[in-house]
């Protein structure tokens, strides 16, 4: 089976099922990587200007009004680590693969400012 190539235009339920249940490989189109790089540069310019950016240099939720000083990268890692704890049994592999595909497909649209 050929790899599913993410182009930033979404995926169908058949694609999600194939990735989740049969282990279909996933690739990201070169144009998506270029779009991600462009979006990240926009975000970096805004951050360098001191503009408040939710979750990048401000707190989240009730801490929205709190400015984050120092290393933004360290703050981002702290956010992930702080939300990585879970309770209960591990999820089945197919659910994890489907969720990871859905997030990656969403990010491939290029508006999030993630780095590639």
Assigned domain for 112 exists: no
pTM of the full predicted structure?
A: 0.77
Assigned domain for 114 exists: no
The CATH number of residue 71's host domain is 1.10.275.10
Assigned domain for 113 exists: no
Assigned domain for 100 exists: yes
From 12, 13, 9, select the one nearest 31 (Cα to Cα). Answer: 9
> What is the DSSP code string of 14-58?
HHHHHHHHH---EEE-HHHHHHHHHHHHHHHHHHHTT---TTTTB
Assigned domain for 22 exists: yes
Assigned domain for 38 exists: yes
Question: Is the per-residue pLDDT at 116 higher than 70?
Answer: no
Q: How many domains are there within the chain?
A: 1
Assigned domain for 15 exists: yes
Assigned domain for 12 exists: yes
Task: Read off the pLDDT of residues 10-65 as tens digits, 9 standing for 90 and up.
Answer: 899 999 999 999 999 999 999 999 999 999 899 889 888 988 888 888 888 888 88
């Amino acid at each position: 089976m050929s790899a599913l190539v993410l182009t930033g235009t979404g995926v169908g339920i058949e694609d999600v099922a194939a990735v989740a249940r049969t282990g279909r490989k996933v690739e990201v189109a070169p144009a998506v990587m270029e779009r991600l790089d462009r979006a990240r540069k926009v975000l970096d310019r805004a951050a360098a200007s001191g503009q408040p950016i939710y979750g990048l240099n401000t707190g989240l939720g009730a801490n929205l009004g709190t400015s984050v000083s120092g290393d933004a990268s360290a703050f981002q890692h702290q956010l992930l680590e702080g939300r990585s704890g879970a309770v209960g049994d591990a999820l089945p592999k197919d659910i994890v693969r489907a969720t990871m595909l859905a997030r990656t497909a969403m990010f491939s649209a290029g508006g999030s400012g993630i780095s590639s």
